[in-house]
Amino acid sequence: MSTDDLRHLLDDELAHLPAQPLTLGSVQRRARTVRRRRTALATGAVAAVAAVLVPLAVVAGGALSRADDLDPVSPSSPAVTVATDGAGTDDAAAVTGPAWSDGTTIHAADGTVVEVDVDATSGFSFVPLGDRFLAGSYGNGTGLVLTLVEADGTVVDTFEGTEYAVGDGQGRTAGWTVGRGADRSVAVLGAGESDPTLLPLTGLPDSAGPPELLTVRGGGCTEEAADEGDGCQAVVLTNERSGGSRAWVVTPDEAPRELVPDVFFSVTGVSPDGTLVAGTTEVDERAMSTCSAVVDAATGTALWETCEVGYLRFSPDGAHVLATDPWRDGLGQNSWTVLDARTGAQVQRYEGLQTTQAWAGPDQVVALVGDSATNAGAVQVWTLGEEEPEVLAEDPRQLMRFSLALPGA
């Protein structure tokens, strides 16, 4: 990931900020509302204020804490057991191992190395998609180009887009936004497909900025997938002028449906089977802290809540969530923590500064760590339960040459 890459990511963040500034007064007004309604969280009726998340590179180095050395995160309300048909899918277990890039060279989870021949002077990112990869690149003074490549580097096709693509965390589906204004849509591409399906973002409420794509789900937008109950879905965020966001499920054949309305101020993740939703529930700007929760998607009932960590993202099998510091102010993250998705119990924690981290499989976390003094960087993968990471790559001078796959949330 280059410095220009970070600039593009920052530009994307700034493009979605409310047209009216988020003042301390507005935060306090929302916070008072949150405090009055927080006791109703167990019934799915809480709102809160989310901080702007702008991850940047900082110093690395730290220590790992194992589950038996730590106290569980205590939920602020009693845990609720939700009956499901099981979290995740069989495909989740098949996608195991970290995927990362060194410049425009992709290192896949299965060890495949793919040279992507694109102009990525100003930025590069990618998403695994079956046996292929969807790479996004910004050239020198050019807009975003998305390139679908085979494992041998052969270009299948190229597409236009307005934001980097995100995946479903399982390598089954990828999506990205295209068009602007009233013409903005989500393009969804399933593994093995060559032509994306456009999901128009009509029917969404007026937004303070362009709708953002949080994640995609399903086995593609084909009739066969729909008949099997595995049709494509996109989860899109619309930004409110008051400073928050609402999450919507967008499909090819139905009007957008709001996901857990009036529960979160900001949704950060949806479990692979769609039964759980994670997000920010409270912000205290003066204390520079936030609270987050996991809720039952059908009822909005909170399973647990914590103010110790934030920015919750589900593992590919839906069993855990990956979290970072509860307040992310642009200076990077001081830690990552893995929690049980249904109880909030802490499983493992790493303390040490890093630029970003992501799931690399049901039981692995991959992280980019670095040293701001020397600009040294490394790609590390941690397996849950182990005390030391595997170092996949490192550079003593160029942290920004590395990036991680964008698995969605």
pLDDT of residue 408: 67
Q: Are 50 and 283 in contact (CB under 8 A)?
A: yes
Q: Which residue type, as a one-letter code, is found at position 248?
A: W
pLDDT of residue 302: 95
pLDDT of residue 330: 57
User: Dihedral of CA 132/136/139/142: which sign?
Assistant: positive
The Cα–Cα gap between 395 and 123 comes to: 18
pLDDT of residue 396: 86
pLDDT of residue 381: 92
Give pLDDT < 50 ranges for the chain: 1-94
Alpha helix (H) ranges present in 58-204?
Answer: 90-94
pLDDT of residue 265: 82
Q: Which residue type, as a one-letter code, is found at position 308?
A: E
pLDDT of residue 258: 93
pLDDT of residue 31: 36
- The answer to pTM > 0.85 is no
